[in-house]
Amino acid sequence: MNIIELQTRCDRVPFFRFLGISILETDETHLLAKMPFEERFIGNPVLDTYHGGIIASFMETIASLSVLDDVNAAPVKPINLAVDYLRPGFAGTLTTRATISRKGRRMASVETLAWLEDESKPVAKGLFHFLLV
Amino acid sequence: MTDVMDEQRFATIANLWNSRAKGLILEMDLKIEQADKNGVQIRMPFNPDFCLDEEGTMLHGGVLTALLDSAFGLANFLAIDDVQTMATLDLRVDYLRPAKSRADVMVFADCYRQTRHIAFGSGKIWFDTGNKEEVARGSATFALTRGNGGSLLDKMKTTGPGS
């Protein structure tokens, strides 16, 4: 998929605009994207860290885009998710890589990793299942 | 007597949660409908920014996940007397039906088990349309620190917007 076309598709989705997602790289099995920090993403009012739901939403979005057959394909249907929160999500640009573990005819399983500055110190890890039909 | 004190504590926490809300909690415009040791029920009005389409017919699943996470936080806060800090360890969500409605979104969450270090929560989401069909179900675990001095409640009182 072409990055510019995928970004255009993202920019048409109200919730993706709310998240402010930028697509960075894409190939057959991966998708890389970033999301700059915004005040509206705060979850913990004492520490001003990212809301866990925003991190999960960002990862789900990138995971769901990674399994599209092409940029005009119908959206895939999320079945379930599991997110491990590994470190506090302090204010800063979050990057997520989605890696397709398995994509069959009906189902896809996607792993995601989200980090702030250092990929080796991830903030969260996710596992997402999608229905493709 | 204890019941009265509990009730006051629940009301204080709910008020603080509302008045100190910032970030996503504020954005979601949450209204607490029930808040006690048995769990919390919170209402979220429809918001076109949270939709997958410009026509606003379908909410993104991530919003439901965020709503569950928020409700778990408040439920823990109410159920655990001396909680000092809590961090979400993991969050699991099943999307049971498409989130295809403009009705208010309702969430119920409770802390169904707590140990010294860990809290376990479960929750469900439905649209306020009368049939109460579950749209999503979630569970989460939290790492806790406990103590009497400088509880999360005290920190909430002294920090937040405007301080």
Domain boundaries, chain A: 3-131
pLDDT digit string (tens) for B63-85? 999 999 999 999 998 999 888 88
**Residue B160 scores a pLDDT above 70:** no
Q: Per DSSP, what are the bridge partners of residue B110?
A: B122
pLDDT of residue B163: 32
Under an 8 A CB cutoff, do A14 and B48 touch?
yes
pLDDT confidence bin for B161, thresholds 50/70/90:
very low
pLDDT of residue B159: 53
Exposure b/e, B5-42, CB count within 10 A at least 16 = b: eeeeebeebbebbeebbbbbbbbbebebeebbeebbbb
- Give the CATH architecture of domain B2-158: Roll (3.10)
For the segment B97-104, the average pLDDT, to the nearest whole number, is 95
For the segment B156-160, the average pLDDT, to the nearest whole number, is 57
B6: region left, alpha or beta (phi > 0 left; psi from -120 to 50 alpha): alpha
Query: From the list B49, B61, B156, which residue is nearest A78 (CB)?
Result: B61
Q: How far is B8 from chain A (nearest CA, A)?
A: 22
- B66 contact residues in A (CB cutoff 8 A): 51-54, 56-57
Determine contact: B91 vs chain A, CB below 8 A. Answer: yes
Q: Is A25 exposed, middle or buried (0-12, 13-18, 19+ CB in 10 A)?
A: exposed
Interatomic CA distance for residues A57 and A75, integer angstroms: 15
Interatomic CA distance for residues B137 and B13, integer angstroms: 25
DSSP assignment, residue B51? B
Interatomic CA distance for residues B137 and B72, integer angstroms: 12
**Residue B3 scores a pLDDT above 80:** no
Under an 8 A CB cutoff, do A85 and B23 touch?
no
Query: A83 with B90: CB under 8 angstroms?
Result: yes
pLDDT of residue B13: 82
Under an 8 A CB cutoff, do B155 and A46 touch?
yes
Coil vs helix vs strand at B103: coil
Interatomic CA distance for residues A54 and B141, integer angstroms: 17
**Residue B39 scores a pLDDT above 60:** yes
**Residue B2 scores a pLDDT above 70:** no
The ranges of chain A with pLDDT < 50 are none
pLDDT digit string (tens) for A74-96? 999 999 999 999 999 999 999 99
Quick one: which of A86, A91, A70, A81 has its CA closest to A121?
Answer: A86
- Give the CATH architecture of domain A3-131: Roll (3.10)
pLDDT of residue B37: 85
For the segment B135-155, the average pLDDT, to the nearest whole number, is 84
pLDDT of residue B131: 87
What percentage of chain A reaches a pLDDT higher than 90? 96
- B63 contact residues in A (CB cutoff 8 A): 15, 53, 57
Under an 8 A CB cutoff, do A56 and B161 touch?
no
Q: Which residue of chain B is at minimal alpha-carbon distance from A58? A: B62
What percentage of chain B reaches a pLDDT higher than 90? 67
Q: How far is A91 from chain B (nearest CA, A)?
A: 12
Q: How far is A7 from chain B (nearest CA, A)?
A: 15
